[in-house]
Structure 1
Amino acid sequence: MTTTQTASPLHALTSRRSVKFLRAPAPKQDELEQILQAAMSAPDHGALRPWRFVLIRGEAIGKLADVAIGAVKRSGDPRMTPEKEKSVREWMAAVPLFIAVAQKIAHDNTKIPEQEQLLATGAAAMNLLNAVHMLGYGAFWSTGMGTYVEDVQNALGLDSLDYRFLGYLAVGTPACAVPQATRPDFREFVTEWSGPV
């Protein structure tokens, strides 16, 4: 896999986009280690390191599909129709790597608000997504597959008392050409404050 050709480091950030349809190969082990190490550079008030990642690959992906689909069905979610189950299984079977993302809740910490721990975990996940892209792969952050069903979280070893499960990063090689995304102009989202009115 070749590194994404960029005109500047910022281009690597502005050209990143989510890629849902992926195939093998996944990043090689040394590349995966670089990707995971990038998460360690996320801003982290109090150095709590609240992020936790679970790697799911190979035969474990089929087991995850069984666990997640079964749990979603048991939860009574009407969206898990036979057609939806078939499409989810086909999609998961094509993806070579899933990274489950969770926040480790620091219950005994009174200095760092929990939302700051959550933001640090989100920043770590964003570093993963950017690193995947910079190495020439694709990724998609999915909150499907039972993210909000407690049985799935527990099956991944992320008990709901101590962790907040935030979904999966699907990682692999884009299965087709990825068109450029049209991004909004930042000016629509920025104001300048010069003091109280």
Structure 2
Amino acid sequence: MSLLVPVILGSVRSDRQGVKAARFITRHLKGRSCEAPLVDPLELGLPLLDRMYKEYHKGEAPEVLERLAELFRRADAFVVVSGEYNHSIPPALSNTLDHFLEEYFWRPSAIVCYSGGRFGGVRAAMQLRAMLCELGTPSIPSLLPIPEIGTALTADGDAQASWLDKAARRFVDELAWYADALRRQRAEGTPY
């Protein structure tokens, strides 16, 4: 059975580089027979968080939140693609993630991080790791950092260096292992 792994993109900036990383990891997920829909905050147009999805009465949440909640409830895992803004995560990513809570529970997440420099966004990833755990979707041990994203990937998300494809395959294999294991456990029941 294939896995459903939404890829949550974090940037809404003009000339954003993260979309290349999202295309790159989506291709690798699909290569492993995963369904990998892109969750793009630029296309979603979510309002700044006023109320979480769960705080709306049944049937009163905006349609975009209903669609996302339904997708997230069906998901087996999540991949979060984050740039590094001032050593932290992009505000659009935080806003997208914060609209939900229970929909993430008992599902693993994986972090693809990037930056224009040599650190590949790992400083933001450390903060994101704590946030994802608090949301109930703890991240797998590995990260997939992409340094110098401006030249590391083409506009279509093709790797310019062979190490990136090799690292992505290992990363996706690890996420799939956790996703399969937690899917089996969810089927048997969760602590609450």
The TM-score normalised by the length of structure 2 is 0.28
Higher Cα radius of gyration: 1
| Higher normalized helix content (fraction of residues) | 2
Q: When the two structures are superposed, what TM-score results if normalisation uses the length of structure 1?
A: 0.27
**Higher RCO (CA < 8 A, seq sep 6+):** 1
- Would you tell me which structure has more strand in proportion to its own residues? 1
